[in-house]
C-alpha cells in the first residue's frame, strides 16, 4: 500500500498550546506565528493572558514592535492603540475611529503550565476541551520541559511519536532500550475511543530495561512487567506512558498508582505548513526529590528528539521537492496513519460544517 505525502490543513475549532505560561509575561509582548497567523502574546495587569493578531490593521506593522500602555498596545508605526479585545480605541491623526478598526482577538486559557489558544470560532471555545496534561501539576511527579522548533509539518512529529518502531534504529544510543520489542506473545493493541487513539504494548516477566535501572529502583536480576502506552488526542497531542512494575504484580488490569512511570508529554502547534512549535515535557514519579533524575531523564529524551528533528527536517525537504512521491506503509505505521486520517476527517467535517 502506498500513500502520497502532503501537508495537512489545520483544525481550527480546538485548543493549541501557544506557549509556556512562564513565557507570557506582564509588561512584555512576544510574537509567535501559529497556524500561519501572526500572534502577539502578553499579560494584562491582573495577570490574564492576551493573544491578539500581531498585524496592525492600518499598514500591517507587527503590534509586538509597539508599546504596552497598561493593558493596551500602541502600534509603533503611526500610534494606533488597540485594547485587549482587539478594538482600536485611538487614532492619533484623526478623531473618528472607523467601526471596522480592529485586530483579531483569540480566546486563551492557562492550564497545566501552558497558555492555550483557540483559533477557530470564539463562540465554541470551551476550556473543558483542553487535553489532560495534569502530570505537570501533580505533586507526585517531577517534570522538566522545553520548546523545540520543527522544520517540518506538525503531523510529521505526530506520526513520529505514534511510531515506536523507530526507537531501536534511530535512537540507538538514547531510547533504544525503552522500546518494547514487538512479538506475537506481547502484541500491540490499538483502540479508538471517540476521536482519541490509544496504542498499548505490554511485555511481561522480563529483566528491567536499562532506562529503569538507570533512573528508577530496579536492579539487575529483577524481573518486571513493562508497558509503553501511547495516547493521541487530535489534532497534535501525544502522551506516552512508559513504565515498569515487579513481574506478576497485576498492574496490567489494575491501578498503576505507586508503580514507576515516566510520562512523555507532547503538544505540537503548527507554525506554517512546513514548520511547527514543539512543546514537550518529561514527568516521572520516581525521582523522589532528586533533581538529577529529572535532569538525566529530560536530557535523554531531548537528545533523542534532536535525532527525530533531524530526520523530520530531511523528510520535509524531500516532500517539498516531490510532494506526490509515493510512500510505503508498513504494519508499524498503523498508529501514525490512524492519527493522520483522524485529523483529516475532523478538518473535512469542520470545513463542511462551514
CA angle 117-123-126, nearest 5°? 55
- With CA atoms as reference, report the closest residue to 165 among 149, 182, 189, 190: 182
Residue 333 C-beta-side C-alpha neighbours within 13 Å: 11
Judged by CB under 5 A, does residue 297 bind Fe ion?
no
Q: Among Fe ion, ligand FES, none, what does residue 58 contact (CB within 5–8 Å per kind)?
A: ligand FES
Judged by CB under 6 A, does residue 78 bind ligand FES?
yes
Judged by CB under 5 A, does residue 159 bind Fe ion?
no
Spatial strand order of the sheet with 81-82 comes to 67-69, 72-74, 81-82, 88-90
| Contact range with ligand FES by CB under 6 A, out of 22-30, 53-61, 116-124, 171-179 | 53-61
The one among 61, 109, 206, 247 contacting ligand FES by CB under 6 A: 61
C-alpha 129/C-alpha 112 separation (Å) is 13
Q: Give the nearest distance from C-beta 24 to ligand FES in angstroms.
A: 22
Judged by CB under 5 A, does residue 308 bind Fe ion?
yes
Number of residues that bind ligand FES (CB under 6 A): 9
Judged by CB under 6 A, does residue 59 bind ligand FES?
yes
Q: Among Fe ion, ligand FES, none, what does residue 61 contact (CB within 5–8 Å per kind)?
A: ligand FES
CB-CB contact of 287 with 262 (8 Å): no
Q: Among ligand FES, Fe ion, none, what does residue 207 contact (CB within 5–8 Å per kind)?
A: none
Judged by CB under 6 A, does residue 67 bind ligand FES?
no
> DSSP class of residue 7?
P
Dihedral angle over CA of 127, 133, 138, 141, nearest 10? -170
Residue with cell 516477566: 205
Q: Nearer Cβ to ligand FES, position 97 or 170?
A: 97
Judged by CB under 6 A, does residue 97 bind ligand FES?
no
The one among 7, 17, 56, 125 contacting ligand FES by CB under 6 A: 56
| Contact range with ligand FES by CB under 6 A, out of 18-26, 54-62, 111-119, 291-299 | 54-62
Q: Among ligand FES, Fe ion, none, what does residue 308 contact (CB within 5–8 Å per kind)?
A: Fe ion
Q: Give the nearest distance from C-beta 339 to Fe ion in angstroms.
A: 15
Q: Give the nearest distance from C-beta 170 to Fe ion in angstroms.
A: 6
DSSP collapsed to 3 states, 162-231: CCHHHHHHHCCCCCHHHCCCCCCCCCEEEEEECCEEEEEEEEEEECCCHHHHHHCCCCCCCCEEEEEEEE
E strand or H helix that includes residue 260: strand 260-272
Where would I find the beta strands (DSSP E) of 13-80? 15-20, 30-34, 37-43, 49-53, 67-69, 72-74
Binding site for ligand FES (CB under 6 A): 56, 58-59, 61, 75, 77-80
Amino acid at each position: 500500500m502506498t500513500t502520497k505525502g502532503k501537508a495537512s490543513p489545520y483544525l481550527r475549532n480546538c485548543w493549541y498550546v501557544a506557549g509556556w505560561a512562564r513565557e507570557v509575561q506582564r509588561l512584555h509582548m512576544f510574537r509567535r506565528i501559529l497556524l500561519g497567523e501572526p500572534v502577539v502574546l502578553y499579560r494584562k495587569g491582573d495577570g490574564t493572558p492576551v493573544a491578539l493578531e500581531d498585524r496592525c490593521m492600518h499598514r500591517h506593522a507587527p503590534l509586538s514592535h509597539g508599546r504596552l500602555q497598561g493593558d493596551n498596545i500602541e502600534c509603533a508605526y503611526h500610534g494606533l492603540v488597540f485594547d485587549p479585545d482587539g478594538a482600536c480605541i485611538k487614532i492619533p491623526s484623526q478623531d473618528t475611529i472607523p467601526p471596522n478598526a480592529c485586530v483579531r482577538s483569540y480566546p486563551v486559557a492557562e492550564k497545566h503550565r501552558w497558555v492555550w489558544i483557540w483559533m477557530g470560532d470564539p463562540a465554541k471555545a470551551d476550556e473543558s476541551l483542553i487535553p489532560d496534561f495534569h502530570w505537570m501539576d501533580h505533586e507526585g511527579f517531577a517534570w522538566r520541559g522545553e520548546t523545540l522548533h520543527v522544520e517540518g509539518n506538525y503531523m510529521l512529529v505526530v506520526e513520529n511519536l505514534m511510531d515506536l518502531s523507530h526507537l531501536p534504529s534511530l535512537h540507538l544510543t538514547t531510547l533504544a532500550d525503552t522500546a518494547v520489542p514487538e512479538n506475537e506473545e506481547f502484541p500491540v493493541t490499538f483502540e479508538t475511543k471517540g476521536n482519541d487513539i490509544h496504542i498499548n504494548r505490554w511485555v511481561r516477566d522480563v529483566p528491567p530495561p536499562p532506562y529503569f535501572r538507570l533512573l528508577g529502583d530496579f536492579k539487575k536480576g529483577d524481573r518486571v512487567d513493562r508497558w509503553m502506552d501511547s495516547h493521541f488526542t487530535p489534532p497534535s497531542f501525544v502522551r506516552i506512558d512508559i513504565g515498569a512494575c515487579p513481574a506478576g504484580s497485576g498492574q496490567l488490569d489494575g491501578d498503576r498508582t505507586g508503580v514507576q512511570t515516566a510520562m512523555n508529554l507532547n503538544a505540537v502547534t503548527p507554525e506554517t505548513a512546513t514548520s511547527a512549535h514543539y512543546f514537550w515535557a518529561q514527568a516521572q514519579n520516581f525521582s523522589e526529590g532528586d533533581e538529577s533524575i529529572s535532569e538525566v531523564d529530560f536530557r535523554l529524551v531531548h537528545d533523542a528528539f534532536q535525532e527525530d528533528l533531524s530526520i523530520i527536517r530531511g523528510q520535509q525537504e524531500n516532500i517539498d521537492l516531490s510532494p506526490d512521491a509515493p510512500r510505503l506503509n508498513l504494519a508499524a505505521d498503523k498508529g501514525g496513519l490512524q492519527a493522520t486520517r483522524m485529523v483529516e476527517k475532523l478538518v473535512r467535517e469542520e470545513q463542511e460544517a462551514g
